[in-house]
Amino acid sequence: MIRVRVPATSANVGAGFDALGLAVGMYNVVEFSPCDRLEISTSDGTKVPTGSSNLVYRAAKAVYDQVDRPFTGLRMVQTNTIPMARGLGSSSACIVAGILGANALLGGPLTRRQMLTLATAIEGHPDNVAPAMLGGFVTSAFDEGQVYSVKKDIREDLVFGAFVPNFKLLTEQARQALPGTVSHKDAVYNLSRAALATAAFCDGEYDLLHVATKDALHQKYRLPLIPGGTEVFELALDLGAYAVYLSGAGPTIMAVLHRSDERFFARAAECLAQDDALKAFTLHRLLPDNTGAVVE
C-alpha cells in the first residue's frame, strides 16, 4: 500500500495571480493499493465520485497513460480534511495525490519536474499544484508546456489565519467575474507587488506584506461574490494582521500573522460569533508547510 499526504495551499497571495502559492498545515490523505478493478471510498464519510470522474483517479490514470503502462484497476481510500471549493487547493491536493500515488506504485518512472508539469496540465495553472507538491512559498511559470518553479521555505515565525466560510465558490464562477482585459497600469501594479511579496516572504520583511499583497486584477471583482468578505478583510487588518488576501479564487480569506500573536485568534473568533454578517466564517490557525506532499 502507498499512502500520500498532501497539504492545503493558498494561491495568488494577493498580487501573484496564477503564479504565487504557499502550502499550509491542513492535509488530505489518499491510500493506494493495486486492484483488478477501480474501488474508491473515503475513511471520513466525505462524498466523492466513485467512478472515472474522480479527480484522484483521473490524475493517477494520466500517469499510467504518460508512461504507457496498462491500467487494470486501483483501490483508493481518501481522507478529505481540506474543504472543497473554498480556495484552499482541494482539487490540486487530489491531482497531486493521484500523480504521486500512481508514480510510486509504478516504481517512480516520472521525475518531480515531469509530475509537476503533468499536474499543471490537468489543473490548468501551477499556483496551487506547485506548493502542494513542493511545500513552502513557490513562484511558478508555465512556458511552452513546461513548469518552472522556485520554492523557498516559509519562515517558522509566521502563521496563517484562514477565514473559511460555510459556503462554496467554484473556481469557474470566480473566473467568470474577471474582466476580459486589464489596463497597463493594473498590470504594472500587480507585477511590482508580486515581486515585492516574494522578497518580503523570503527575507522576513513582514512590514512590506500589507502593500505587497494588494491586488488590482482579481480581488475587487471576486469579493462581491463573498457575503461578509469585505468585513473579514477589515476585521483582520484592524486586529493587526501583516496582510490579508483572498485565498485562490476564494471564498476563504487568508490573514498573515506572527506566530506569537494568539490575541488575534481569540479576538477574531469573538467577533465572528457576535456579528451576524460574519457567522458564516470559521477561523483556522494554520502553520506553514515547508515539506509538501509526502509518499509513505
Residue-level pLDDT, tens digit, the chain, 296 residues = 999 999 999 999 999 999 999 999 999 999 999 999 999 999 998 889 999 999 999 999 999 999 999 999 999 999 999 999 999 999 999 999 999 999 999 999 999 999 999 999 999 999 999 999 999 999 999 888 889 999 999 999 999 999 999 999 888 888 899 999 999 999 999 999 999 999 999 889 999 999 999 999 999 999 999 999 999 999 999 999 999 999 999 999 999 999 999 899 999 999 999 998 899 999 999 999 999 999 99
CA atoms of 250 and 174, how far apart (whole Å): 8
Does the domain made of 2-153+291-295 have the CATH classification 1.20.1050.10?
no
Q: What is the dihedral of CA 259, 262, 266, 267, to 10 degrees?
A: -80
Distance, C-alpha 71 to centroid of its chain: 29
Residues of the chain with CATH 3.30.70.890: 158-286
pTM: 0.95
**Burial category of 183 from C-beta neighbours within 10 Å (exposed 0-12, middle 13-18, buried 19 and up):** exposed
Q: Angle 112-123/126-134 helices, nearest 10 degrees?
A: 150
Rounded Cα distance, 271 and 226, in Å: 18
* Residue entry with cell 498532501: 6
CATH assignment of 158-286, among 3.30.70.890, 3.20.20.60, 2.40.30.10, 3.90.226.10: 3.30.70.890
User: Is the Cβ–Cβ distance between 130 and 116 less than 8 Å?
Assistant: yes
Ranges of CATH 3.30.230.10 domains, the chain = 2-153+291-295
Q: What is the 3-state secondary structure (H, E, C) of 52-111?
A: CCCHHHHHHHHHHHHCCCCCCCEEEEEEECCCCCCCCCHHHHHHHHHHHHHHHHCCCCCC
